[in-house]
Each structure stands twice: as structure tokens, then as C-alpha cells.
Structure 1
Amino acid sequence: MAPSTPTARLFLLDGSSLAYRAYFALPETIATQDGFPTNALYGFSQMLLKIVAEFEPAAVVVAWDAREKTFRHEEYDGYKAQRPKMPDLLSQQWEHLPDLVDAFGFHNLVRAPYEADDILGTLATQAARRGIEAIVVTGDRDTLQLVGEHVSVMATGRGVTDVKMYTPAAVVERYGIAPELIPDFIGFKGDTSDNIPGVPGIGEKTAAALLQQFGSLEAVYDRLEEIGSEKRRALLLEYEEQARLSKRLATMALDVPVGLDVAALMAEAPYRLPAAEVEAVFARWEFASLVRRVRELAAGRAVQAAPTDTPPAEDLPQLVLEEGVGPLAALLEQQETALGWAPADDGQQEFAVAVYAGGRRALAARTDQTGWHGLWRLAAHVVGHEVKGYPGFADAPAPAAFDTALAAHL
């Protein structure tokens, strides 16, 4: 029997969401030798390589939020009003992110006054109508409304390459409602990340229960008298207009003039990694470990190997010298590994950190307080003496810790 041909899949990436996640997941101390910050560029590059290596896409489109205000701001001036200004270190990297996409041979798209979600929704809808399998990659859960027979959402989680795939069944399992009811769901419960108000006092469980009983936000208001709780009925009535507004804000526009035809895009398949171009841009940003990964991919070795975003153990010591804490962050993110700490012994405001890399190998590097906190957020285990006194413990205790001070008393 001849081997089956893998399904050709279109990957649709929310560049803005993924870039922010990369920036906040990795230490701000990742930078070039001349001090230019590259943590967002490094993490974003890891994501792109993961998609190429593990999923072999037929085509990839990366959508970006426009800098201008969107049509949602016109309807509700509080939309995303609570969000802080883009961090300066991320702003410095932002204009270089589309260059990474270009180097990979992917398509960049931005369309004012729409958001990246709307672009992805339009393309995903085009794909579904033509029976093309599409995967939307994002950190925004409101995109789950797109999930269907031909569309899945790959939602990023902890770190930069931890993902969960949402199919229609997975959405129902997680939220108790069908994907197409996600805007109704947000209409009731709101969305703090986008400053969508919803109905005060209505949380996820109540929103899901209402939709399970009535089938839509509009049906709830058509049959409001059937709600047994007088208090809940009064609350829903008082905030009816706000609920309807919230649903509209959460509903994606599916008619964005994208200027791109998915059928023509898929006709260009199969995708081939332009290794020389990607190597050149990685070399520019001094990503030595990623250059090696590109060479492995080009040689066809990484596709057959076990998927990983962590460089081979034997390469790590040199990479720590070349790239500082970046490889340590990658190791922490990918493995159930341990992080150790001690103050630098020369009186400087630095931390000496070590990451267990398997076998008898532990890798050490120096970093400042910002870098330490970045590694701390990724650590699955922490090993040290009087761990409760570690910087960061009070705000975010380690998931698991081995404390030699406690062990000495056992």
C-alpha cells in the first residue's frame, strides 16, 4: 500500500499576539553583542521554526494589527483602553518582525481599520468554504469562534512554543458551548484583556449555562421571563445593551478585503524553507542555535527527529557563552528541568544561574534581576537553599522546589 499523502494545511498566524507572547515569555536580557534587544525576535523565530519543522505547512500567512484605531473603537471608545503602551524594548524590535516573516517566504498582511483576528477570520472562512484545512495560531481565545470542520485553533500557552489544539470537540469540552457561540459567551461574561464589559456578575459558568439553555444571547433576551432567578433576570435586563454591544465587539469581521486568494495560495504548495534567507536573518540577530536548526531542517534531519526547540545538550555550553540566558530559557520551557540560583560573588547586582540539562550536565550563566525573573517564570522546578527567600518567590512561588535548607532538617 502506498503511503498516504499528508493533508495540505494553511497556517494563519496572529503576528501581534505571538510577538507579545514571545516578548513576555523570554528574558529581556537576550540581546546582540552591541546591546540591541532580541528576546521577542528570538521567541518569534522559535515559533516559526516549530511550525515548519513539526507541521510542514503548505502555506503560511501572518496577520498584524494595524497601528490605527479599529472600527471597534468607533463603536466603543473603551475598547482595549486599559492596555498599557507597548514596552520600549518590544517597540524597538517590532519593525523587524515582518522581516523574519519575509525571510521564511511567508505572507505579511495588515489591513486598517481591522485587527489581525479579522484578517485571520476572513482567510479561515475562505479556506473552510473551499474545503481547505486551516490552522489559526494565536494567543487570543476569542478566535475559537472560527473553529469548525475545516478550521482548528492552535492556542499558545506557557512560554513561546507550548500550544493546545482546539477542535470543535475541544471547545465544547473546555467551555461547554459550541465554537460559534464564543461571541455570545463574551457578550455575557466580558473580556478583561480587550476591556469588553459584558454583564457585571456574569462569569464563565453562568454564561455557559445560559447559552446551553437558550442557544444564543438574543434568545436569552427573547425569553427573559423563563429565567428563574429574579436577581439574575433584573441584572440581564439592566445591562442588555451592554451585553449586545459586547457580543458585537467580540464578533470577528469575516469580509476583510485581504487581497489574497487562499486557493491561489495553496496552489503554490508545497512550501520549501528558504534556508539561505533564514540563516542570513538569524545570523544578523546572532541566533547561533537557530542557524544550526535551519541547517538541520534544510538537510531533512529535524523533520525525522523528535520535535524539540532545545539545542542538543552538547551544544548548550557554547551557546550560553554566545547567547547568554537565551538557550537556558529555551531549555526551561521545553523540559521538566530545574533552575538553581546564587547571588554573584563579586558584589555586582547580578545572579549566577544554573539549569540542569540532563545527565551530569548543568549550564551556568550570569544575568541581572530582569533576566532572573524571566527564567523564574519558565521554571518547572527550582533547586536551592532557602528557596522562599529567592527573588520572585513572593509574587509567583515555584511550581515545585527542592530546598536544601529544609532537606538538612529531615
Structure 2
Amino acid sequence: MAQQKMLLLDGNSLINRAFYALPMLSNSKGLHTNGIYGFMNMLLRVMEEQKPSHVLVAFDKKAPTFRHKEFEMYKAHRKKMPDELAQQLPVLKDILSAMGIAILESEGYEADDIIGTISEACQKENMPVVIISGDRDVLQLVSDDVTVFLTRKGISDVEEINKQCFEEMYQIDPQQLIDVKSLMGDKSDNIPGVPGIGEKTALKLVRKYGSIEGVLENIDDIKGDKLRNNLETYKDQVVINKKLAAIYKEVPMDRGLDGYRLGDMDTVALTQLFRDLEFKTLMARMGLEPDQGGIHGAGEADNGSAEAVDIETMEDKDDLGKVVSAVRRSQCLALYIDIDRAYLYDGQRNYTIKVKDSFIGEGVEPQLLFDTIKDVLADQDIQKYVLDSKALYTMLNTYGVELKGVAFDVMVAAYLLDATAKEYNLEQLCERYSVHYQKDAPAYSVYYLAKAMETQLKDKELDKLFFDIELPLANVLASMEISGFKVDVDMLRQLSEEFQGEIDRLTKKIFSLSGEEFNINSPKQLSKILFEKLQLPVIKKTKTGYSTDNEVLEQLSNYHPIADYIIEYRQMAKFDSTYIHGLLNVAHPVTHKVHTTFNQTVTATGRISSTEPNLQNIPVKLESGRQIRKAFIPGSEEYILLDGDYSQIELRVLAHISGDENLMDAFIKGEDVHLRTASEVFDIPMEEVTPQMRNRAKAVNFGIVYGISDFGLARDLKISRYEAKRYIDNYLEKYKGVKRYMHDIIEFGKRNGYVKTLLNRRRYIPQLSSRNHNVRAFGERVAMNTPIQGTAADIIKLAMINVYRELKARGLKSKIILQVHDELLLEVYKPELDMVREIVRDKMENCIKLKVPLVVDIGIGDNWYDVK
């Protein structure tokens, strides 16, 4: 007879983890399913590994527990469970019941208490116990017979902790963890700890004195006046904390351990539940047969084999010929390149090619590998499925190989489906999109992931955006990274000397005003000068002392001239260190080009960002900062720089989306929109508008786009909140279409959980359902701004693709080298200048049809500074 084993799961903890780890998946009826899907994947994996005889899933009840009676503020700050998660709990319980798995919740107790009670009963019967939870509190239950598996990141990263492991980690007995928590408190449960005691100090005290009782009995022996005083002050709370932290092990039970034995599965009920949820992969995994046509949505895709797949390993040139022939027959190639391996899948068979590098002597030389398969890679008719096409374009370029025919980019698709994801790891993506991950055949996983994701893109109406814009854009960005942007290193060094001279001048001035020398870069020393020696008013405090950030310094400038000099000093120091020396450090030693990385899958709005170095952040507000742009020059004297800059694109997009007649009329007539707004807001003829009025109207125009508040506008314009509110109210009164748009888009976001751009790019905004006013207000600002900023981002991406294709189609030498916000910068071969100027204007102004015209300003210059 097989050994009995109890598997205990904290249902609330695990579905909560799954819900936040996976994107907002839902079935075709609108029921959210991500929590259930993640929970089930984890449950099945654990059951396959542990093979338990008994299984229990414990849940919390909504009612208060005995801990709330003991301490009224217990978990008082916990947010209400999101409706999208709450609707999944009853469905999960139905699934568990159909699987023959016991579920239990008990009024007045938490899931941990149920787990602790059953765990205790199992130990009396010598039955091994495995606990799965995301809550570290259960570690106090670890023993010789009890092992805990803690979920760490999401649901796939799990840490196994047995008694030996626990003791090595903490050097205490598991039961003493209650004492540690009693001293340090627990913010997640709103249990207040003793001030100044964190985990390190709490562990040290418990190791020495054994328990909180031992600690309190020996308070007089504890070193450190502050620690000793705090323990004396909070000793009553510490005693209460122990009652709150200890898992209760005597919850009344209505059955013995045999009542939690894994029962028979109700396949009919389970099949129907999974069919309704559209969990095709899970049905296959559990041996359930779906009806033909009964599953749709993400379930339509073939998600690959769960079993290990056959792999053919190749180590020399002769083998590579077989791969080329196979790919040509299938007209399909999934590709995944690692440090010492190239993984290929032709739709039927997997191939692993060992690649030599500087550390591994065996395998095929990289150049030989890519030379052998370059014709296949460059064949437009052979469909390529890849994880990150931009990275692949640039990598293959170093070997003189061109990549064509990219049919799918998994990373870009994942970004479109969930722009808030932090990373796009292949294994995590497979788990997220119900695809079987093949560790030894990642190209196979890429292929089936592409199939599954394509279905989701279509379901969410993102397929056109993906195939028409984001997929071809990766090639454009790769070409820009490869081209690079030349810098004049001699000019940078000269600027550095000038900046350093200015820094020295400012340093002397600051020392003179302060009456002594000190480290200006030290916040501690600076605050001592400002607030103790000069007796300036304290504006803001931090954990470590007085704040000396720029916002504080700007306010202090009203009291003492030293503040302005410190602000200027910081600006000049940043220009010199971050920009001048930053550029000199990354410029190629021979070509003097900087090759930035354009990030296509980072921003939530769809904007492209730039890193290493960040060329989109080169200063423009101050003349001293703008001087840095003079160092950016064409690659040779045969070329000149051309800049195409959209004029007020976000306001034009706002006019189109809102349909506001006043705003559209201003753009259609070609009027100065800020002058027109000033006339409307201040209710005076346009010819009477002063420059100050126009500037304030401009701030209102752009502020509205970003959902600015009266507080924010007042701060920007240095006016009262009353006056700022009056400007905004007057604006919305005159521009009723904009006011209607702002209301409607927020309501759309609340109903759907996301807002979208004109080209259907989605941004999910969970903050809109928050009960916290400030968080909800932030969500509303995001909802108002995202369709505007996101549509502007989509438009410039479309323009980039069209300009790039036209330059290639005409065989021109000119090329795009940079994209910054609403402008494109090109390096133009001088004989092609007139032609390229017309191409840029035409493709940028006509890439999309709006209700108002798109206008592009063209600038020409021998350096980046001069094109503006």
C-alpha cells in the first residue's frame, strides 16, 4: 500500500498570487479566468510531483476572526478583493469539488488555522504533510513531518522549506517564528511591531532569549537605551501580537482525516466547467475530451506537446545541410539563439546546434552556422517565428546576415497583450498563455506560443496593430540601432571643460554665500548649511533628515540666493557627468558613434524609449543643456541631418477623438491653437491676447491632455489654485467636446478595465476600481491621457515604417537614425535632400486620416542643435 500523504493548500493566498501574476484573461462571456487558470496549473503540477492521498484546500471566510476581536485594527488596511478576482472564487470551488478535492472554510478562523489544525492531526497519525502557500506565516508549522512550499514570484517560482532548511535559514525553531513576528510586527496583517526592530534584531533577540517572554523578562539586560525603552513601551502590544501571529491548531472539525482523502473525479461536471472557462489545454492535460467547436478564444490554438519532444543534435557543417533542406520543405522556421546553442524547429522536428564560443571549444563556429543558413534566413517566403526579432536583426547583422520573413515576434505580442508586464521570459510566457514549455527545445515553445498568442491578439482586436505596426517596426528600430549617431568627441571634451569652469564658479559662489566650504553633493552637509547655519525654513523632511531636493530649493530661492546657485550647480554637474562623460564612455573608439537601444516593449503608453545611452533625454529646456546637441553630427561630410517634427500632435489627436468643434475648427483653419484657447478662456478677442495669456493657455491645453489638476496647474504657472481651477473650468466650458470625452473615457475604463487608442492599443488600468481616492484619481488621469498619448505614439510608429520602406524602395542612402517623442531624425545623403524632405513630409502627414490635418515642421542642419 502506497504511503499516505496530506496536501494542504491556502486557497485564498494561491488564487490571489495567480490573479496578480497573470494578465487579465477572460472567456468569451467576459468571466475573468486568470486566477483560476494559474491556480489549476500550480495544483496539477504539485499533485503530479507529490502524489498525495489526501488533499484539502482551505479558504478564508469574509466574517471577522477571533484575531479581529483581540485587536480591532487587525488587517484593517486590507483592500477589498477586486471584483475580477471575487467572481472566480466560487467557480474555483466548483472545480475542486468536481475533482474530488475537499474544501473547507470555518467562521471565525483563517485558512492558516485550518491548515495548522489538519497538520497537527496528521502528525499524530504519522502522516507526512506538504503545505502550499504564499504566506510565510505557515513556516511556523514546519517540522520533521511537515514541509512547506512557498510561492515567491507569481506561481511558478516555488521555494521548498523543510525543518533542516528552515533552521539553516533562521537558526531558530519554527515555532519561534511566532516570537520573531510578535517583535517585528507584520505590515501585511497590520500588526504593529516594536519601533526599531526589524527581522534581523528580532531574530537576534529570540535566539538569545528563546521567546518574547524571555525577552521581556530580561529587558534590563538588553543593550541600547532606545531599544530597551521601546520594548518597555510596547510590551503589551508584543504580548497581543503573539496571539495574533500564532496559527490556531484547534479549529473544530466535522470529520476525521479520512474525510479529506482524494475522491473520485466527476468528469462530466469538470468537462462542462472547463468548457465554459475555455480551458482547452487543461482539459487535455487532465484527459478530458472537449466537444468539437465547444472551446473558443485562447483555447483554439494547438499548444504543443506536454511530453518531451524528439531533438536532433548537430555538431558540424554536414549536419546543417539537413536542416536547410527540411526548412525549405516546410517553409517554416522557429528560431531561438542562446550563448552556446542555436535551437531550430521546422514545424515537425527540433534541431539543436552546438555553437562554439570563447569558452566552449566544441561545436560549429557562429560565422559558419549563419553563413550556412543565411539564404534560409533571408528568404521572405519562409515564415520565421522568434522570441525577440529586434535583437535577432542586430545580432545577425554582426555576421553579415539579413533576416526576412518574420511572421511572429513573441515578445512584441506579449507586450501588446499586457503592456504592464515587467519581463518576457519564455518559460513564464508559456505558463501565462497555456503553452507547454520545452526547456531543451525552446524554438518549439516559441512556435506554439506564437500560435496561441495570435488567437489572443485576434480576440482582443490587436492583430492589425501587431502585424501592421509593431512587427515591422522592430526591423526599423534594429536598423536605427545598427546605424548609430555620430558624436564629435572633441566638442564634448570642450563642453566638459566649459561646464567644469562653470561648476567651479558656482562652487565658489555657494561657499561665499554659506561662509564655509562643504560637500555640496552631500544632502546631510547641505541641509546643515541651509537649515542650521542659514536658518532657512524647513520645507520637507525625509527619513534621514531634511529634504534638499530641487522642489525644496525652488521654494527656498524666495528666502536666500544660495538656493538658485545650488540648483544651477546641480544642473551643470548633471550635464557634465550624465551627458558629456556618459556619451564619451559609450561612443565607439573608432567610428565615434553611439548605438542606443530602442525599447519597443517597455512603456505602458506605446511610446518608444531609449537606453544606453538615453538619447531621448538630452536636455532641451536650458541653453547650456541644448549645447550638447551640437556634438551630434552626421557620419560624414557627405551627409546632413533632417528633422521631421509633428506640430502639436497630441492636441490634434484630442481634437479628433473628442470631436470638439472649437478645437477642430482652430486646426482646420491653421490658427495658433494656444492663441485661440487664450481667447476662449479669457473671453477676449484674439488680437488682445498677451504673451502671458498665451503661455497660460498653452499650459492649460497640454495640461488637459495629461489630466492635470488645479493643484498641478497652479504649481506649473505659479498661480493660486483658485485661479488655476478657474482656467480649467473656463476651458471645459468652452471646449464641451473635450469635457464630454474626459467623462466618457473614464466611464469606458471603469466598465472594461482598460482604455484604448485609435488603433486599438490597450492599457489596463486597475486603479480605476480602487477605493482609495488618490489612486482612483491617478487612474482617471491615465485613462484620459492614454488614448491621446498612445495614439500619437502609434502615428509616429506608422510614419517611421512608411518613411523607412520608401527610403528602401527607392534605394536611397539616407536613413532614420533617431526617434524622439514626436520627431524623426534622419541622416540624409546631401544629393538626396530634396527627395527625402518630400518623403518625410508626405509619409508623416499622410500616414493616417484624422478629422484635422497633421502638420510636420522640417528642419535641416549640420548638427542636431541646428535642425531646430
Q: TM-score, normalised by structure 1?
A: 0.74
Partner-residue secondary structure (3-state), 1:52: helix
Partner of 1:217: 212
Match of 2:75 among 41, 63, 80: 80
Partner of 2:280: 288
Matched, 1:157 2:179: no
Separation (CA, whole Å) in 1 of partners of 2:135 and 2:414: 38
TM-superposed CA distance for 1:386, in Å, is 1.9
Partner deviation per Cα, 1:131-183 (whole Å, 9 max, x = no partner): 11111111111111111111111111212232212111222233332101111
Partner deviation per Cα, 1:193-219 (whole Å, 9 max, x = no partner): 111112121001001100111111110
Task: Name the amino acid aligned to 1:341.
Answer: V
TM-superposed CA distance for 1:265, in Å, is 3.7
The 3 A distance-change label for structure 1 pair 35 and 250 is same
The 3 A distance-change label for structure 1 pair 164 and 278 is farther
The 3 A distance-change label for structure 1 pair 392 and 166 is farther
* Matched positions, count: 343
Separation (CA, whole Å) in 2 of partners of 1:180 and 1:350: 42
Q: Is the 8 A contact 1:109 1:258 kept in 2?
A: no
Alignment of 1:9-408 (within 5 A): 9-28=5-24, 30-262=25-257, 264-265=258-259, 268=261, 275-295=267-287, 312=304, 340-341=411-412, 358-359=442-443, 361-362=446-447, 363=450, 364-365=453-454, 366=457, 386-387=598-599, 390-391=602-603
The 3 A distance-change label for structure 1 pair 314 and 196 is closer
Partner deviation per Cα, 1:82-110 (whole Å, 9 max, x = no partner): 11111111122122121111011011111
TM-superposed CA distance for 1:388, in Å, is 8.2
The 3 A distance-change label for structure 1 pair 222 and 388 is farther
Partner-residue secondary structure (3-state), 2:194: coil
Q: Which has the higher contact order (CA 8 A, sep 6+)?
A: 1
Separation (CA, whole Å) in 2 of partners of 1:27 and 1:47: 16
Partner-residue secondary structure (3-state), 2:23: coil
TM-superposed CA distance for 1:368, in Å, is 9.3
Bigger shift: residues 5-14 or 228-237: 5-14
Partner-residue secondary structure (3-state), 1:390: coil
Q: Is the 8 A contact 2:99 2:264 kept in 1?
A: no
Q: Is the 8 A contact 1:137 1:154 kept in 2?
A: yes
Partner-residue secondary structure (3-state), 2:287: helix
Partner-residue secondary structure (3-state), 2:160: strand
TM-superposed CA distance for 1:279, in Å, is 3.1
Q: Is the 8 A contact 2:412 2:600 kept in 1?
A: no
Greater radius of gyration (CA):
2
The 3 A distance-change label for structure 1 pair 313 and 359 is farther
Q: Is the 8 A contact 1:136 1:154 kept in 2?
A: yes
The 3 A distance-change label for structure 1 pair 392 and 183 is farther
Partner deviation per Cα, 1:56-102 (whole Å, 9 max, x = no partner): 11010111101101111111111111111111111221221211110
TM-superposed CA distance for 1:402, in Å, is 11
Partner-residue secondary structure (3-state), 1:244: helix
Separation (CA, whole Å) in 2 of partners of 1:343 and 1:15: 28
Separation (CA, whole Å) in 2 of partners of 1:343 and 1:9: 39
Q: Is the 8 A contact 1:136 1:153 kept in 2?
A: yes
The 3 A distance-change label for structure 1 pair 99 and 402 is farther
Separation (CA, whole Å) in 1 of partners of 2:30 and 2:285: 24
Matched, 1:8 2:4: yes
The 3 A distance-change label for structure 1 pair 70 and 57 is same
TM-superposed CA distance for 1:239, in Å, is 0.9
Q: TM-score, normalised by structure 2?
A: 0.37
Separation (CA, whole Å) in 2 of partners of 1:259 and 1:342: 50
The 3 A distance-change label for structure 1 pair 203 and 32 is same
Separation (CA, whole Å) in 2 of partners of 1:60 and 1:122: 14
Q: Is the 8 A contact 2:9 2:132 kept in 1?
A: yes
Bigger shift: residues 226-235 or 16-25: 226-235
TM-superposed CA distance for 1:278, in Å, is 3.2
Task: Name the amino acid aligned to 1:150.
Answer: D
Output the aligned Cα RMSD.
3.6
Partner-residue secondary structure (3-state), 1:340: helix
Partner-residue secondary structure (3-state), 1:359: helix
Q: Is the 8 A contact 1:45 1:100 kept in 2?
A: no
Separation (CA, whole Å) in 2 of partners of 1:104 and 1:342: 34
Q: Which runs of 5+ in 2 are unaligned?
A: 290-301, 308-386, 389-409, 427-436, 463-476, 479-596, 606-610, 616-816, 819-868
Task: Name the amino acid aligned to 1:132.
Answer: M
Which aligned segments of 4 or more residues in structure 1 are displaced greater than 4 angstroms?
271-277, 348-351, 353-357
Task: Name the amino acid aligned to 2:599.
Answer: V
TM-superposed CA distance for 1:124, in Å, is 0.3
Partner-residue secondary structure (3-state), 2:155: coil
Task: Name the amino acid aligned to 2:47.
Answer: V
Separation (CA, whole Å) in 1 of partners of 2:72 and 2:223: 35
Separation (CA, whole Å) in 2 of partners of 1:343 and 1:188: 43
Separation (CA, whole Å) in 2 of partners of 1:149 and 1:314: 34
TM-superposed CA distance for 1:246, in Å, is 1.2
Bigger shift: residues 203-212 or 252-261: 252-261
Separation (CA, whole Å) in 2 of partners of 1:402 and 1:46: 38
The 3 A distance-change label for structure 1 pair 311 and 127 is farther
Separation (CA, whole Å) in 1 of partners of 2:183 and 2:425: 45
Bigger shift: residues 205-214 or 358-367: 358-367
Q: Is the 8 A contact 1:279 1:294 kept in 2?
A: no
The 3 A distance-change label for structure 1 pair 282 and 215 is same
Percent identical across equivalent pairs? 33
TM-superposed CA distance for 1:312, in Å, is 2.9
Separation (CA, whole Å) in 1 of partners of 2:194 and 2:55: 38
Task: Name the amino acid aligned to 1:293.
Answer: R
Partner-residue secondary structure (3-state), 2:137: helix
